[in-house]
Amino acid sequence: MQQLLDSVKSLSARERKALAVLLKRQGVNLYGVTPIAVRETQAPSALSYAQQRQWIIWQLEPHSAAYNIPLALRLHGVLDVEALRRSVEHLIERHETLRTTFEQQGDEALQVVHPASPFALDVDQLAAGETVERYVDQEVQQPFDLQHGPLLRVRLLKLSEQEHVLVLTQHHIVSDGWSMPIMVDELMQCYQAATLGRKAELTPLPIQYADYALWQRNWLEMGEQERQLAYWKQHLGEQQPILELPTDRPRPALRSYDGARLNVELDAALLNDLKTLARQQGITLFMLLLASLQTLLHRYSGQADIRVGVPV
């Protein structure tokens, strides 16, 4: 098997695609058994399916900030602003997604990776009467232009010589909830190294996201897409029911995207009872709580087929 993988690595992208077509006729998906390859050129390349979804949504609502991923860090102590600037610059150089824009060429959407360039860090101060919360909220609610970028915004709010707030905002088309903690960890490593006058020794990245996007396209086109579609149609059926809750006000014509979070703390006795019930049923606590939510939604809506999306 390793000899086969090594042989495939030596093929050009066109040769791999031709081999994949031949193997597909034999019921074998080449891209399902071979590692992700690095793109041969820096030419504009295909989007992943997740990126394509974000691209379509943005074209429908280009002024929406619903898919912004924000993070605000309060920094205590003396801050080396130049070291921080160089650290962000290092991250942008390291991760192609942070210097990527998107464009439409005919019927195909493509991502364009731009060369690394010097980064300018904006340093702000609060206006008269402005609060930190209002400053951060205004910053993270600014929409992105996916065609012109950049799709990472970094602003530094100076409160005093010893107090700063670093605001990082990315668009979901180039990042996700898993990526942000990794980015912050790498930023801290870069900053620590920069304050010592050196460059952080981060583990080199074997591939970039655009490499994965191209692999995903090839993998799904060689039969995996049909297999997954058949699987989900079998489990979910052809109809996609809409949850009809008896709300106390009509839905607005346009969504505001003003979400909210409600935290509920369960007392220890109830939590122990739930854990015991889950253990008796041979399920996890999450499965039990999800079933409870769906039961509640059924009671309110009268519907038996209810779809609930959860993060995975």
Give the per-residue SS3 of the chain: CHHHHHHHHCCCHHHHHHHHHHHHCCCCCHHHCCCCCCCCCCCCEECCHHHHHHHHHHHHCCCCCCCEEEEEEEEECCCCHHHHHHHHHHHHHHCHHHHEEEEEECCEEEEEECCCCCCCCEEECCCCCCCHHHHHHHHHCCCCCCCCCCCEEEEEEECCCCEEEEEEEEECCCCCCCHHHHHHHHHHHHHHHHHCCCCCCCCCCCCCHHHHHHHHHHHHHHHHHHHHHHHHHHHHCCCCCCCCCCCCCCCCCCCCCCCCCCCCCCCHHHHHHHHHHHHHHCCCHHHHHHHHHHHHHHHHHCCCCCCCCCCC
Average pLDDT over residues 201-218: 94
pLDDT of residue 287: 96
Calpha distance 202→185 (Å, rounded): 11
Q: Is pLDDT at 1 greater than 50 in this prediction?
A: no
Which pLDDT does position 3 carry in this prediction? 58
Mean pLDDT of the chain: 91
Q: Is the pLDDT of residue 100 over 80?
A: yes
Query: Is the distance from CB of 49 to CB of 216 less than 8 angstroms?
Result: yes
Indicate whether 30 pLDDT > 70: no
What average pLDDT does the segment 206-210 reach?
Answer: 96
Q: Name residues whose C-beta falls within 8 Å of residue 161's C-beta, 6 or more positions apart in sequence.
A: 78
Average pLDDT of the residues in 247-264: 84
Give CA–CA dist 289/285, Å, rounded.
6
Half-sphere exposure of 58 (CA within 13 A, CB side): 26
Q: Which residues contact 33 (CB under 8 A, 6 or more apart)?
A: 5
Which position has the higher pLDDT, 238 or 148? Answer: 148
Tell me the mean pLDDT in the region 20-41. Answer: 75
pLDDT digits (tens, 9 = 90+) for 155-178: 999 999 999 999 999 999 999 988
pLDDT score at 112: 98
Structure confidence at residue 14 (pLDDT): 75
Mean pLDDT lowest for which of 4-18, 200-214, 236-250? 4-18
Q: Is the per-residue pLDDT at 251 higher than 50?
A: yes
Q: Which residues in 268-302 are b (16+ Cβ under 10 Å) and which e?
A: eeeeeeeeeebeeeeeeeeebeeeeeeeebeeeee
- Indicate whether 5 pLDDT > 70: no
Name every residue whose Cβ is closer than 8 Å to that of residue 186 and which is 6 or more positions away in sequence.
Answer: 91, 94, 200, 202
Residue 254, Cβ neighbours under 10 Å: how many?
A: 7
113 has pLDDT over 60: yes
Work out whether strand 122-124 and strand 100-105 pair parallel, antiparallel, or are unpaired: unpaired
Q: Is the pLDDT of residue 24 over 80?
A: no
Residues contacting residue 71 through CB under 8 Å, at least 6 positions apart: 167, 168, 169, 180, 184
What is the pLDDT confidence band of residue 252, given thresholds at 50, 70 and 90? confident
pLDDT tens sequence across 35-94: 788 998 899 999 999 999 999 999 999 999 999 999 999 999 999 999 999 999 999 999
Rounded Cα distance between 215 and 180, Å, is 23
| Mean pLDDT calculated for residue range 246-262 | 83
* pLDDT mean over 27-37: 73
Residue 61: the pLDDT is 93
Q: pLDDT tens digits, residue range 261-292?
A: 889 899 999 999 999 999 999 999 999 999 99
CB atoms near residue 137 (< 10 Å): 12
Cβ 214 vs Cβ 46: under 8 Å = yes
